[in-house]
Amino acid sequence: MGTFFWYSRWTFRLINRPHSTFVCQRKWNGNVYLWYRHACWTRFLFNFQTRWRSIESAFSLVSIHCNLNDVSNFYFSGTSIEAMVGIMAGAVTNTPALGATQETAKGLNGTVSPDIGIGYALGYPMAIVGMILTTGGLKWVFRVKVDKESQLIEDREKARRKDALVFSVEVTNPAVYNKKVGEVKTLLDKHDFLISRIMYKSTGTIDMAHPQTTITEGDKLLIIAEQTDVDIICALIGHKIEMSDALWGKLDHRLISRRCLVTQGSINGKSIEELKLRSIYNVNISRVQRSGVHLIGKHDLHLQIGDSVILVGEEENVKRVEKILGNSANHLLRPNLSVLFFAILLGVLIGSIEIPLAGMPMPVKFGFSGGTLIVAILISNFGTRFKLNTHNTQSVNLMLKEFGITVFLACVGLSVGGDFFSKLIDGGYLWMGYALLITLIPLWITCVLGRYWLKLDYFTLLGFIAGTMTFAPALSLTPDASKNNIPAIRYATIYPLTLFVRVMLAQWMILLF
């Protein structure tokens, strides 16, 4: 009850209100995190910079809850702090925290206590049990109607979505008669849109729209913009008409629209304006698809390896531009290991830097896992500015992930195997009980607060459970998590901050106690 009181008190003092989202993908190798895809981590850094007082901050308190529970058990049970930190690392399935703890203990005492690894090995199964109980029980405890909640989320996401929308407008507003396309764009400088093609009323011909193209009464324009800007654009130019992108292609056999992959390394990080495709080849990049999101082909948009772009222009010119951009699907299937290993090397160096803190008996380090995580985030966000290709194949990521974690856990098992069974018989079941408490109590308190205070939906809670436990397979513990992509998105939102907090707190516990 004392532990429960502490959780409630700290949570109500520190928790903040919602919310932010982004999409990412978790790729790691044992206790050294190898790589994160560019688009995902760029979004994480942006969200962390602009919305840190949000749900990810609130749910990272689960990490603090777990540590409070650990300290409580340490004081009341008499178990060594090394064992308790190992139990905590296992109870939250956080292998990097285990690695950081072992590094710190070795630096402090000269040796690594086997209790750390044994505690981890005993706590890990209880974490799986705790997550199964939590994910399976949420629906019944909160009386969730899954299909109804899924439909509400789908409707909400459609309203928020900022995918590029293609629509046609007829010029009927005298305010824009005889104005150039560039001048019209200036009138709506706070809204992102692209006028791709124009059909002249006087001749019936279709042409590419350039900044110097003059708009006259009755002309028809093919425009690409976000859903929220459609009404404003139509109000300024004229009125929306039913004329699809495919119909534009049928009416004009001279201009074609073709999808092209960006695979040329020299293009990586360059803006559309820098390529000068419009002025040299009379070809427009109207849309860019990146990680499933459709972006407007603005002049200042920087292209990345793996982007899929829509080219509009004459067929011969489009073919020339395809050669410039690469358009080789086979190129994307080749492993890109150089930047990956550079991130690991630099991450190890950063993780080895000692940071002196007042009151600590020895400096704190990010560790190999924390250092590599920081470097991966920075490279994924700023890498294109230095022409670094951060794209890698799914097969390489999966291979490194599985190989790395297998090797690491094998090493942990071999180092503690001699004492494991004796410790299990001699009071090890108590350690497993501590691990179950460390898993269940913070999760349920946070889920209750999230559901009834922050008004979070069921799928968001599933994602945050996986994120706060830094355990992606938790998303597969219940079939409800596959009904939409919300759990995966929320998992990615909370995961990086939780990982960092757990690694640092594990070291501090060894140093302070």
Element containing residue 308 per DSSP (H, E): strand 308-314
Predicted pLDDT at 60: 55
Unique residue bearing structure tokens 């293009």: 267
Residue 40 has pLDDT above 50, yes or no: no
Q: ∠ CA(204), CA(210), CA(216), 5° rounding? A: 45
Same-domain status, 474 and 505: yes
Tell me which residue range forms the domain holding 217.
Answer: 173-238
Q: 278 in a domain, yes or no?
A: yes
Q: Does residue 42 form part of some domain?
A: no
Give the CA radius of gyration of the chain.
Answer: 27
CB atoms within 10 A of CB 493: 29
Q: Is residue 256 part of a domain?
A: no
Q: Which of 311, 327, 343 is the last residue of a domain?
A: 327
Residue among 465, 469, 463, 513 at smallest CA distance from 492 = 463
Co-location of 194 and 277 in the same domain = no
Domain shared by 397 and 506, yes or no: yes
Q: Are residues 212 and 281 in the same domain?
A: no
Residue 17 lies inside a defined structural domain of this protein:
no
For residues 306 and 396, membership in a common domain is answered with no
**Cα separation of 195 and 221, whole Å?**
7
How far apart (Å, rounded) are the C-alpha atoms in residues 284 and 310? 8
- Answer yes or no: is 335 within a domain: no
Q: What CATH number should be reported for the domain holding residue 315? A: 3.30.70.1450
Where is pLDDT greater, at 144 or 46? 144
Statement to judge: residues 483 and 396 lie in one domain: yes
Looking at the fold, whether 499 and 398 belong to one and the same domain comes out as: yes
What average pLDDT does this structure show over 154-172?
76
Q: Are residues 146 and 74 in the same domain?
A: yes
Number of domains into which the chain is organized:
3
Q: Does 431 reside within a domain?
A: yes
Q: Quote the strand ranges of 234-297, DSSP E.
A: 238-241, 255-261, 284-290, 293-296
Within 10 angstroms of residue 4's Cβ, the number of other Cβ atoms is: 12
Whether pLDDT at 211 is above 80 = yes
Query: How big, in percent rounded to 5, are the helix, strand and coil portions of the chain?
Result: 60, 15, 25
pTM higher than 0.85, yes or no? no
Is 279 part of any domain? Answer: yes
In a domain, 116, yes or no: yes
21-25 long-range Cβ contacts below 8 angstroms, 24+ apart: 21/47, 21/489, 21/490, 21/493, 22/46, 22/47, 22/489, 22/492, 22/493, 23/291, 23/292, 23/485, 23/488, 23/489, 23/492, 24/492, 24/495, 25/397, 25/492
Mean pLDDT value across residues 488-500: 76
What pLDDT, in 10s, does the model give residues 466-488?
888 877 777 777 777 767 777 87
Exposure b/e, 323-346, CB count within 10 A at least 16 = b: ebbbbeeebbeeebeebbeebbeb
Handedness of CA 225, 227, 228, 234 (dihedral sign): positive
The region of weakest confidence among 68-72, 202-206, 414-418, 497-501 is 68-72
What's the pLDDT tens digit per position in 99-142?
777 878 877 777 777 888 888 888 888 888 888 888 888 888 88
Structure tokens at 512: 């302070």
Query: Is pLDDT above 60 for 29?
Result: no
Among 309, 327, 345, which residue terminates a domain?
327
Greater pLDDT, 70 or 481: 481
**Do 192 and 277 fall within a single domain?**
no
Q: Is the predicted pLDDT of residue 198 greater than 60, yes or no?
A: yes
| Boundary-marking domain end, from 238, 253, 274 | 238
Query: Domain check: are 295 and 221 in the same one?
Result: no
Q: Which helix (H) or strand (E) holds 27?
A: strand 27-29
Q: Answer yes or no: do 185 and 151 share one domain.
A: no
Output the pLDDT for position 61. 58
Q: What is the pLDDT, as a whole number, of residue 15?
A: 34
pLDDT at 221: 92
Identify whether the C-beta of residue 476 lies closer than 8 Å to the C-beta of residue 9.
no
Instruction: Convert the pLDDT of each residue in 291-318 to its tens digit.
Output: 667 788 888 888 988 889 999 888 888 9
Query: Of 469, 466, 508, which Cα lies nearest the Cα of 489?
Result: 466
